Each structure stands twice: as C-alpha cells, then as structure tokens.
Structure 1
Amino acid sequence: MTLLNQMFDVYIDLNITLAFAATAWMAVNLLLARLGRKLVFTVQLGFLNLLFAVIFLSPAIVAVYQQLLASDVVPADYSLSLADYAVAQYLRGGIAIPAEDFQTLLGVRDRFTESVLTLGPGIGLAVALFLIGGFTWFGGRLAVNFLRLGRVLSACHGWRKAGRVRLLLSDTAPVPFSARGLLYRYVVIPSDLLVTPGDLNLVLKHEFQHLRQGDVEWEIGLELLRPLFFWNPFFYLWKSEVERLRELACDQKVTEDAKVDLKAYCQCLVRAAQAGFRKRREQLAPSRTESVAGVALLEVHEKLLRRSPGLKLRRRIEALLETDRLRPHRGIATLAVLPIAVAVVLTALSLQKPADWSQDRLMLSAIVNLDRLQTINSFGQRPLR
C-alpha cells in the first residue's frame, strides 16, 4: 500500500469517525434532555473539545494498536477490524449471500480508493475533481480571510498592552472580537464602546474569558480543517455546536462573578447587537473577519443554513436565565464522556483494513475459487431430467 493510499484511507476514516462522534453526541444530549438533566455549558464545551481531540488522535491510536498486533504483543484474536468480523460471520453461516458477491462487497472500498487516486473514468474521476476543487476553493477562501483579518488588525489603533494580549480600537468593526497571531492575542473593541464604560467593562470580561478558554485557538483549528472536510455535513454540525456552546459557556462564566449584574449583562448584549446591526447596514462591503480565525461577542450577519443572529441572541439570554443546570464532580464528568470516547476509538479501530491475509480470508478465497470451478465444470454437463 502506497503512502497516498494510506493517507486517503486515514482521511476517509476520519470523516466516518467524525460522523459517528457527532451522532453519538447529539444522541446523548437528547437523552439528557429527555431525562431533565442539563449540564453546565462549560462542562459540555470541555466534553466536545475532548472528543474532537480523540477523533484526530485516533489514527495514531490505530497505528500503535496495529503495531502491537503485528508484534504479537496483543493476540490476533483481539483484532477489531469490522471486515474481519464480517468474514468470520460469513464462514459461520451468519451472512447468506454467494461467496463471490460477498468478496466483491468487501472490496468496494479498495476499488473506490484506487479509482479516485488513479483518476479512473466515471465516479473515480468525478470524486477526485470534486475533492481537488473543494480543497482549492475553501483553501483559497481561508487564505483570503486570514489576509483580510490581518488588514483589519493593522487598521486598528493600539490602546493597551497586557503581556501577550493587545487591546485594539476599531472604527469599523461591527462588534468586539478576539483573534490571535503567531506571537500575540488581540481583543478588538469598537471605538463607540469607549463612551459606555459599563458596557466596555462587560465586553472586556467576555473577551478575556474567551482567551482563557482557548476559544480562539480552537476556532483557528476548526477553520484550518474546513478545506479538508468541506463536504462533510457532520463537520458543520460539530462546528456549529462548538460555536453555540462556546458563547454560552463564556456568558455563564462571566455572569458567575458576583460583581456582574445579570440584567446589565443581558442589556449589554442587546445594545451591542443593535450597534452591530446598524454599523453593518451602513457598511457598503461588510467584512466577515470576526467569524474567521476569531471569536466575536455575537453574530450580526446571516449565515447560510444557520439560525438568525436575532434568534441566537434570544437563546443566549434565555440560557442565562436558566438556574437548573448541573455542575458534576470532575470524576463523574469524566465517567460521563469516557464511554463516547471509547466508542470513538473502537469505531476507528473497526474501520481499519486487515494487516495481511488472515486464515478466514484464505478460507473465503478458497470457497470463491471452488464456486468458480464448479460453475466452469457444470457448463459441459447435461441438465438432469
């Protein structure tokens, strides 16, 4: 197997694992909602980030496990390949289809991979062109958005410095947002906020909380992955859930401070939204830099197939008024997310191809050859009367 084949297999496995993890996450959330158990948003965000890390570490986990199998440290009976399990079930009579059809079914993925990588005619060429076009288009958009963000930061006025954090004032930014470069983190504040010290204080608390949570780094990571997973709806579902929990967790953390008045904070969000909508209408070419490689206080522009900014703002305020959310002990919280993480790893392991021809595979190949031989020999025989 060539390196390109291995890379494409890892890519397909990551997409499938991400789809499984997103489905499992939504199922668990639905179950908790039915049971009337609501976890605090900071805990949910931590779970989601942990699961995302497990997903993208799964290829390394799989490689280590396969190496342990190859060196006989782990017995061969503990191979978790779904293909091997299907072959074993077929040999035991659990799958009732012709042997040649079953072998053909097992080789669908290999044929698809070969067709795509060799630009085979038909579906292989179409998929290859689709992926190359998508990678190029979304990669180009990402580069343009990073350049645009750099221009926005360069046009801001320096205000204050605190370690590696730079506070900047902008005359054009619709809403406050946080971003980062290679060396520094940035908090961009619309200049209009200087005339409302109360709102300015709340906004700074909100943006600094984003920096403490590492939200900007997670957003950059997700944006860098978008060109690779541009076609996968589960990636957008995951990203949307991260964005939702990120803002709710930040709001929750800020309002836990006894010095922060909940009503004043909600009114601040409303005023910031009104100012952002007004400024965006006034701009002839609205910038979207606050949604790329940065974390904004709130959204003030519509996004395709997503809830409207007004609805999101209402949901945030409603969530702040909820008081029945649980903050479980760290050990209990770990036990809650552990089954999903284990299921994600097991899914990644089950997708792997067998390292070599196993005894079951050889038996299946022998059955296929015997069936073919019987078919050939039956051509010269007279039909029974």
Structure 2
Amino acid sequence: MDAILSLSLLYATAALALVLLVRRLLRRAFGAGPAFGLWLLPALALVLPCLPGLPARWSVLPALRVLPDSMATGTAGTDAAMSMPWLRWLWLAGASVMLLRLAVHYLRLRRQSRALPMAIAASLRHALDDFDPRRLRLHPAGPAVLWAPRSLVLLPADFLDRFDAAEQRLVLRHELTHLRRGDALWSLIAGLAAALLWFHPLAWVALPRFRLDQELACDERVLRDAPRDETAYAHTLLHSVGLSPMPALIPWLAEPQLKERLTMIQRHRPGALRRRAGVAALAVLVAGSVFVAQAATNNRKASSNLTFNARIQPRYPEAAIKNKEQGTVVLKVLVSKDGRPLRIDVDPATKAAPDLVESARETAMQWRFNPALKNGKPVEGSARVPVEFNLTPLPSKTGQDKAEKRSSK
C-alpha cells in the first residue's frame, strides 16, 4: 500500500508540474478547450499505479544491518523510523479538516439558497431554452453554478436590475454551458483532490489555474456558438462584480480572472482544425502516460512491510560474536499472495557462517511483505533481502560531530 501511495504522489506531482508548464502554450496553439483537458492528467496520475503493467520478477530490498545486542542501542528502531507512520496520521488529520471545511461550505451554500420567485423565472424564460427553471436558485454569490446531483444555477436577488435583457441572456448562456460541459462535477473533484493533497504546494498553485482554464474553455465555447456577441460579452464581464473564489462553486466572474478572460475574447481563437489537432495531441499524451504506467506500476514487485518487520530483528548469535564472525546473508524469499513467506532460500553467493544464515532465515519466516501485483491483483512474488551481520557499531551522532570538528580544525 505504501508503494502505491508513493507512486500516486510521484505521478501526480509530475503531472501537475507538466500541466502548469504547458497549459498556456497549448491554449495559444489549440484553444482553451484542449488546454483545459490537460487537467485530466493529474486525475489520471493518481490512479496510474492501479493500471495493468508488465510482469515483475525479483525485488532487491535494502540491506538490514544486524549488530550484537550490546551495540544495537539506537539502531533497532531505524526501519520503524523510516516508515514514519505518524506522517499518515498527520495527512489524515489535515485531509479530514479540509474535507470537513468543503462539506460545511457546500451545505451552507445549499441552505442559504432559496427557490426562484415565479416572477423572475417568467422573466428569464426566454433565455433558458429548455432548462428546467426549478434548478434556478436565489443566492447572494450568484451568478454561479453549484454542484448537486442535479447541478443548480444560483442568481442574485437583483439579477434583473444588475443586468439588462441582453446581458442576462449572455450570463445564463455561460452558466448553462458550464452545466452541459459537466464543469460543476469537475470543480467538485478538483476541490476534493486539493483537500487530499492539502500538504502539496503544487496543488494550491494549480487550483486557481484550473478554475481559470475552466472559465476560459467555457467562454470559448459560448463565443464559438455566438461569435457576434464578443463585444457584448466583454462589456458584460467588464461591468460585472468579481467574487472571491469559493469551494464547490463556479462564479460568473472571480476577481483574478477578468484580465485573462478579456484577453482571450480579444485574441483570435483557433479554428476547428487546430482544436481537433489539440484534442488528438491530448489523447496521445494521455495514452502515452497510460502506456508508461503499464511498465512501471501495476506489476509491482514484492516489498518489505517495514512497519511490521522493524519489530522483528534477527539476533546476532553469541557463538558468532565469540568467534568474531561477520558477513552478509542474501535471502531469496518467495512471497505469497497475502504477504507471508512461502519459502526462503539462501543465495549461493552468500559468504557467511552457518549460524548467521540460520538466524537470518528463522527471523525472515516471521516477516511480512507487500505482495506483488499483476493486473491489479496480488500474486506470488519474490524478494531478495540482504541481512548484514556486523560487529562494528554505527558511529553515533555525537561521534560524527566530534570527528567533523576535528577535521575542520
């Protein structure tokens, strides 16, 4: 499980960095729609370790150093420290707080929204096309789209006074385009991902850029269907009141987005051929990512369960200490589907006394492993575990500091 989570985080980091680097270039070359599609990559990256891969064979694990009991002070917990289970609890606490914050904000938005008066609904019927007016709500944060099992359009109480008839039509067309594109759901997924990656700096850098790219893609789609409305659309944006970005909500205009959106309207937008080329390039990029993942993830090799195994250390045999025997025992462990050792053999290249070999084998039979995966299912796998018996203690931190001071003099 630790290996899968680590790979997911690594892939998500690489995907976020890639999107942040190329989103502007892709937008200028192929349009805002394909550029927004780039945000599929981080979502895909999180599940890449669960995709089918290539068969795995031997997994070589880090060497385990064994010292006599009298010298082992301060070293027995090394593997346990490496696993750092407290990091999981810290992440879980932070994610719980962020998810609770998102849920409270969403419920507050739903509770504060009210049914649209029939008079306003009747006035807007000409701009709604076939949209169900029961999905319109009054809320001070409107105009905006709010995710729900059937996503809602929020309108301010002064919507009819704030915008004239032409502007009302443009604003509602924009919000309905969000609904047709499924943007409300994507915004919810982005908010959930940001909550789970609360500790990741790139996640917080990416979130406002995701929202901007979403708005640009929606604007482009609206103006592609009605190119003659460019001037009126820009005028409506320019005279709108910007809102601070809020979780679970897609406002008509967020404060930091005005300049970019007006620039996109004024700039010549790519034609259909270039947009299709952008979609094709995006499909190739996604397919290539999946192909690379097949070779690196889901046929994961067996690995040691560090948290469990750190509590079961091999004993340095007293006879070996007396005879000053040292050496590295290389164990070849056949790991079952449930992570238990089925068979333990000793690599012929091992050069160690028999009592050291026997101590390493007896202890390894009590260990647990993360099983190998093939096509997402646990299978039997193999791991090579070097166990180093050494009579020379590791230098202490104090000793290292003293040595560094002497060398500096």
Q: TM-score range by the shorter chain?
A: 0.5 to 0.7
Closer, same or farther: CA 132–355 of 1 in aligned 2, 3 Å: closer
When Rg is computed on C-alpha atoms for both structures, the one with the higher figure is 2
Closer, same or farther: CA 22–372 of 1 in aligned 2, 3 Å: closer
| Partners of 2:115 and 2:134 within 8 A in 1 | no
Q: Which residue of 2 aligns with 1:314?
A: 259
| Partners of 2:98 and 2:195 within 8 A in 1 | yes
Q: Which residue of 2 aligns with 1:60?
A: 50
Moved over 6 A (4+): 98-101, 367-374
Match of 2:222 among 254, 276, 280: 254
Deviations 1:75-119 (A, max 9, x none): 546x8xxxx4xx59xxxxxxxxx9668xxxxxx997457441xxx
Q: Alignment partner of 1:328: what SS?
A: helix
In structure 2, distance between residues paired with 1:18 and 1:248? 24
Instruction: Flag structure 2 segments of 5+ consecutive residues without an equivalent.
Output: 66-76, 305-331, 335-344, 358-385, 393-409
Matches within 5 A, 1:181-196: 181-182=148-149, 184-195=150-161, 196=164
Deviations 1:168-221 (A, max 9, x none): 353x52441011323x22111223332411110000110011111110001112
| Partners of 1:175 and 1:189 within 8 A in 2 | yes
Amino acid at match of 2:31: V
| Partners of 2:32 and 2:220 within 8 A in 1 | yes
Q: Which residue of 1 aligns with 2:29?
A: 38
Amino acid at match of 1:295: I
Measure how far apart 1:354 and its partner are. Answer: 2.6
Closer, same or farther: CA 292–373 of 1 in aligned 2, 3 Å: closer
| Partners of 1:134 and 1:230 within 8 A in 2 | yes
Closer, same or farther: CA 110–208 of 1 in aligned 2, 3 Å: farther
Q: Which residue of 2 aligns with 1:154?
A: 114
Instruction: Flag structure 1 segments of 5+ consecutive residues without an equivalent.
Output: 1-5, 66-73, 89-97, 102-107, 117-123, 278-287, 301-308, 378-385
Measure how far apart 1:141 and its partner are. Answer: 0.9
Deviations 1:294-316 (A, max 9, x none): 2111114xxxxxxxx2xx21111
Q: Which residue of 2 aligns with 1:105?
A: none
Q: Which residue of 2 aligns with 1:140?
A: 100
Instruction: Output the aligned Cα RMSD.
Output: 4.0
Q: Alignment partner of 2:29: what SS?
A: coil
Measure how far apart 1:46 and its partner are. Answer: 2.0
Select the structure that is richer in strand.
2
In structure 1, distance between residues paired with 2:132 and 2:258? 31
Which moves more between the two structures, 243-252 or 40-49? 40-49
| Partners of 1:138 and 1:230 within 8 A in 2 | yes
In structure 2, distance between residues paired with 1:362 and 1:20? 39
Amino acid at match of 1:55: A
Q: Alignment partner of 1:291: what SS?
A: coil
| Partners of 2:177 and 2:218 within 8 A in 1 | yes
In structure 2, distance between residues paired with 1:75 and 1:226? 33
Q: Which residue of 1 aligns with 2:251?
A: 296
Closer, same or farther: CA 55–157 of 1 in aligned 2, 3 Å: farther
Match of 2:287 among 338, 343, 355: 338
Q: Which residue of 2 aligns with 1:173?
A: 140
Q: Which residue of 1 aligns with 2:275?
A: 327
Closer, same or farther: CA 152–9 of 1 in aligned 2, 3 Å: farther
The answer to whether residue 12 in structure 2 is matched with residue 18 in structure 1 is: yes
Closer, same or farther: CA 270–339 of 1 in aligned 2, 3 Å: same
Deviations 1:252-288 (A, max 9, x none): 1111123642111011011112xx56xxxxxxxxxx7
Closer, same or farther: CA 153–209 of 1 in aligned 2, 3 Å: same
In structure 1, distance between residues paired with 2:388 and 2:282? 59
In structure 2, distance between residues paired with 1:165 and 1:347? 50
Measure how far apart 1:15 and its partner are. Answer: 1.9
Query: Percent of pairs identical after alignment?
Result: 22
Matches within 5 A, 1:260-299: 260-273=228-241, 276=242, 291-299=246-254
Amino acid at match of 1:143: A
Measure how far apart 1:363 and its partner are. Answer: 5.4
In structure 2, distance between residues paired with 1:241 and 1:258? 26
Amino acid at match of 2:113: L
Measure how far apart 1:53 and its partner are. Answer: 4.0
Amino acid at match of 2:200: N
Closer, same or farther: CA 374–252 of 1 in aligned 2, 3 Å: closer
Deviations 1:211-268 (A, max 9, x none): 1111000111222333321111222233333212100001111111236421110110
In structure 2, distance between residues paired with 1:155 and 1:367? 80
Matches within 5 A, 1:362-373: 366=350
Closer, same or farther: CA 218–37 of 1 in aligned 2, 3 Å: closer
In structure 2, distance between residues paired with 1:333 and 1:314? 26
Closer, same or farther: CA 42–110 of 1 in aligned 2, 3 Å: farther
Select the structure that is richer in helix.
1
In structure 2, distance between residues paired with 1:345 and 1:164? 45
Q: Alignment partner of 2:198: what SS?
A: coil
